[in-house]
Every structure is written in C-alpha cells, then in structure tokens.
C-alpha cells in the first residue's frame, strides 16, 4: 500500500508549573483533539540556546503535535493562516517573546 502524505503541526510550549502555561497547553490539546481527532504530547523536553550574553542556557518545553488529514503543498495557504492564528494566540496568552509553531510533511503507512 502506498504511503499517505500529511501535514504535521507542532507547537513548542513553555514547560514549568505556571498555571497560564498549563492552561495554554490544555487549550491546544483540546484544539487538536476537536479539529484533527487527537494529538501527541511530549512533556519536559530540554531546549538549549545561547543567551544574550553568549552563555549556554536551557528551558523546559512541552511539545504538542497533531497530524492533519491534509497534504502540505496543496493546503499551504490555509495551514499557514491556521498556524499563524495558533502562534498569535499563544503569544497573546503568555509573556513569552516568541513561540515556535512548525509544519512539516510526513508520510503515514496506512
């Protein structure tokens, strides 16, 4: 059976114990469950980066992702608008300076 192309949407959220971060993650989990039928959550991932003073630093992040029923290329504009909305909502609900939302093509063996 041939592989099926799909678009995967990933949201990298701040980890930790802040109630606002927990509520935001719950909102995205519910959004993906209601829109795509489910999602995967990976908690307590370590994100590493160089700080403004060029020192190595890290944050705890949580990843929420869902596989859409759509092909990426033929739905690029709609997926772009949807993910822009997801990112803007996250930025409006937190004090984070940036929020990473990723869309990429995956292949399912059905």
Q: Which residues contact 36 (CB under 8 A, 6 or more apart)?
A: 66, 67, 68, 69
1 in any annotated domain:
no
Domain of residue 63 covers: 14-108
Q: What is the maximal distance between C-alpha atoms in the chain? A: 53
pLDDT by position in tens, the chain (length 110): 789 999 999 999 988 788 888 999 999 999 999 999 999 999 999 989 888 899 999 889 999 999 999 999 999 999 999 999 999 988 888 877 778 999 999 998 87
Using a cut of 0.85, tell me whether the model's pTM lies above it.
Answer: yes
In a domain, 2, yes or no: no
Is 22 among the domain residues? Answer: yes
Distance in angstroms (rounded) separating the CA atoms of residues 93 and 46: 22
pLDDT given for residue 11 in this prediction: 96
Cα–Cα dist 35/8, whole Å: 13
Please tell me the predicted confidence (pLDDT) of residue 55: 92
Q: Would residue 60 count as lying in a domain?
A: yes
Task: Kindly state whether residue 40 falls inside one of the protein's structural domains.
Answer: yes
Q: How many domains does the chain have?
A: 1
- For 3, the token pair is 């592989």
* pLDDT value at residue 15: 86
Quote the pLDDT of residue 93.
Answer: 81
Looking at the domain assignment, is residue 8 inside a domain?
no
Given a contact cutoff of 8 angstroms between Cβ atoms, the answer to whether 48 and 9 are in contact is no
> Could you tell me if residue 80 is inside a domain?
yes
For residue 29, give the CATH number of its domain: 3.30.70
Looking at the domain assignment, is residue 4 inside a domain? no
The CA distance from 51 to 53, in Å, is 5
What is residue 18's predicted lDDT score, i.e. its pLDDT? 84
pLDDT for residue 66: 98
């Amino acid at each position: 059976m041939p592989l099926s192309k799909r678009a995967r949407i990933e949201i990298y959220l701040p980890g930790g114990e802040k109630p606002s971060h927990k509520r935001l993650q719950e909102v995205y989990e519910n959004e993906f469950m209601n829109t795509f039928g489910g999602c995967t959550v990976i908690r307590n991932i370590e994100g590493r980066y160089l700080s403004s003073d060029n020192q190595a630093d890290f944050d705890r992040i949580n990843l929420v992702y869902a596989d859409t029923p759509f092909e990426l290329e033929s739905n690029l504009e709609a997926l772009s608008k949807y993910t822009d909305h997801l990112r803007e909502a996250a930025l409006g609900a937190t004090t984070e300076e940036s929020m990473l939302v990723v869309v990429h093509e995956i292949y399912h063996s059905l």
